[in-house]
Amino acid sequence: MTMPVLEAVDVVKFLGAGAGKVQALKGVTLSLAGGELVLLMGPSGSGKTTLLSVLGCILSPSEGSVRVCGHATTGLPPEELSKLRRDYIGFVFQSYHLFPTLAAIDNVWLALDVRGERARRAIPKAREALAIVGLSHKVNAFPLQLSSGEQQRVAIARAIVANPSIVLADEPTAALDSDNGYAIMSILAEIAKNLGRGVLVVTHDSRLLPFANRVVRIEDGHLVEARNGARTVNLSTG
């Protein structure tokens, strides 16, 4: 493992306003190093998704600081946060969030297109990313023609195609059966082998523990436990 690609120090986040205002994060300190796969676990409502949003530059912390590849995010306007996401972060969502009207390759290309990458370079990269997740044969398939597992693979391809330093995955296996879940985690673990890239996976599925280098638990907005994982799985995407 190498230098941290993502660091959060004493992060506090308030959500809502007035009587409905709640403190979702209560001083969270966390770091993610390159070549590391970290599982973020915790019960529903514990603040996992809020933490992921703050770490992913979607929300700004109310207090504390977040540094993405050395760049502080505190106080940045939405477009600057958006630029940080473009430059350093890839997302994998629980519900995949693929564009139903676009083929698999176009869904992956989209992540490069929003970065302003020209089609001539972007399309081969998208094809390569789909090959990494084992979908070379489905590049022209539309999301509805793909199984849930295949859709999540396309989402992973979209997350890694721009070669981000950080991959944030929100419950990537929640909608999948165990075989597909295993395959998806294997791909994410393989991706985390890259020393310049850290992978943070939010989950409440303890079956994923063998894939992790480190596991952190969050409860009621506090990190309550951080321990080394037992990366025992044979990492192969095959």
Which residues are near other proteins by CB under 8 A?
A: 49, 52-53, 56, 58-59, 78-79, 82-83, 85-87, 89-91, 93-95, 97, 99-103, 105-106, 109-111, 113-115, 119-120, 123, 126-127, 139-140, 158-159, 170
Q: Shortest distance, CB of residue 194 to other proteins, whole angstroms?
A: 19
Nearer to other proteins, 78 or 178 (CB): 78
Q: Shortest distance, CB of residue 232 to other proteins, whole angstroms?
A: 29
Q: Any idea what the Cα angle at residue 226 is, between residues 209 and 34, rounded to 5°?
A: 75
Nearer to other proteins, 107 or 213 (CB): 107
Q: Shortest distance, CB of residue 181 to other proteins, whole angstroms?
A: 19
Q: Is the CB of residue 172 less than 8 Å from the CB of residue 201? A: yes
**Identity of the amino acid at 190:** E
The closest alpha carbon to 173, from 197, 132, 138, 208, belongs to 208
Q: Shortest distance, CB of residue 104 to other proteins, whole angstroms?
A: 10
Residues 6+ positions from 43 with CB-CB distance below 8 Å? 204, 219
Q: How many CB atoms are located within 10 Å of the residue 205 CB?
A: 17
Q: How many Å apart are CA 200 and CA 119, to the nearest integer?
A: 30
Nearer to other proteins, 125 or 214 (CB): 125
Nearer to other proteins, 203 or 213 (CB): 203
Nearer to other proteins, 221 or 229 (CB): 221
Q: Shortest distance, CB of residue 210 to other proteins, whole angstroms?
A: 25
The set of long-range contacts for 42-46, using a CB threshold of 8 Å and a minimum separation of 24, is 42/204, 42/217, 42/218, 42/219, 43/204, 43/219, 44/204, 46/218, 46/219, 46/220, 46/221
